[in-house]
């Protein structure tokens, strides 16, 4: 077969395939909901709210932070502190755990300052969910949407996020408020979580999802905590135009 015949035959095959796919889509659209409506229904069922969410912070410790290589340390500190402050403003329960502080050191001071009054559960287990006090503290909140962040991403975040699924939780992994020791380890950890059913999220979008309404009384505190430059500009303009 020469090149012209090959191209002609290939074009015919693609056209027939496209026509068949279009016909199948038209036939299915009459009786089945659209992908858009399915997505909207799914998000409504699984939406994270201030009434069903709980935040679990795992191993944000000074020693472990020295090994982080996939994200700038200042960016990570900004994100984890912003996430924590926003959740506290939304009155979402926060559970904090560290591992073997004699080995890995205390919480980073920026996070410890944001968590004044919140008890830290020190443990020795690698998987935070294997520590009964941690799992019981989360379960005691009565909430089933578990937002998890940890250092490292592939262990301290991934292990409890995956383990909690078996206990009936829906787990959300805050990837940009976590850190790993190599990019490969982080990538493999995220892939493993996704395959298990954990939902990856960002530090700001999960907070904004919970906020839900920019007219809510907590909106200013949430956006201030998240520290997004453009949101600061927006709220500055709002204050300006709101002057008597």
Q: Are 31 and 78 in contact (CB under 8 A)?
A: no
Q: Could you give the CA distance from residue 190 to residue 171 in angstroms, rounded to a whole number?
A: 13
Contact 148, 174 (CB under 8 A): yes
Catalytic residues, by residue number, are 156
DSSP state of 119: P
Q: Report the alpha-carbon angle 94-132-185, nearest 5.
A: 70
Which helix (H) or strand (E) segment is 109 a member of? helix 109-114
Token match 């787990």: residue?
171
- R_g over Cα of the chain: 23
Please name the residues in contact with 68: beta carbons below 8 A apart, sequence gap of 6 or more: 76, 151, 152, 179, 180, 181
Cβ neighbourhood burial of 229 (10 Å; 0-12, 13-18, 19+): exposed
- Long-range contacts, 136-142 (Cβ 8 Å, 24+): 137/95, 138/54, 138/56, 138/95, 138/164, 138/169, 139/167, 141/54, 141/93, 141/95
Structure tokens at 15: 């056209």
């Amino acid at each position: 077969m020469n090149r012209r015949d090959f191209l002609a035959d290939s074009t015919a095959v693609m056209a027939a395939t496209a026509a068949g796919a279009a016909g199948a889509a038209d036939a299915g659209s009459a009786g089945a909901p659209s992908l858009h409506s399915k997505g909207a229904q799914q998000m409504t069922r699984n939406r994270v709210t201030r009434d069903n969410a709980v935040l679990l912070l795992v191993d944000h410790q000074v020693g472990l932070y020295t090994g982080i290589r996939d994200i700038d340390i200042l960016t990570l500190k900004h994100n984890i502190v912003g996430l924590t402050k926003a959740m506290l403003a939304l009155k979402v329960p926060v559970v904090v755990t560290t591992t073997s502080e004699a080995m890995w050191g205390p919480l980073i001071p920026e996070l410890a300052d944001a968590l004044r009054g919140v008890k830290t559960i020190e443990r020795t287990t690698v998987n935070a969910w294997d520590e009964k006090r941690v799992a019981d503290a989360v379960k005691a909140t009565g909430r089933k949407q578990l937002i998890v962040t940890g250092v490292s991403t592939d262990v301290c975040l991934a292990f409890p996020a995956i383990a909690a699924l078996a206990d009936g939780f829906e787990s959300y992994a805050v990837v940009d408020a976590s850190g790993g020791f190599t990019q490969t380890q982080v990538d493999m950890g995220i892939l493993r979580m996704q395959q298990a059913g954990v939902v990856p999220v960002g530090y700001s979008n999960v907070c904004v999802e919970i906020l839900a309404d920019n007219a809510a009384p907590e909106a200013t505190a949430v956006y201030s905590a998240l520290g997004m430059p453009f949101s600061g500009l927006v709220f500055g303009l709002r204050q300006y135009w709101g002057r008597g």
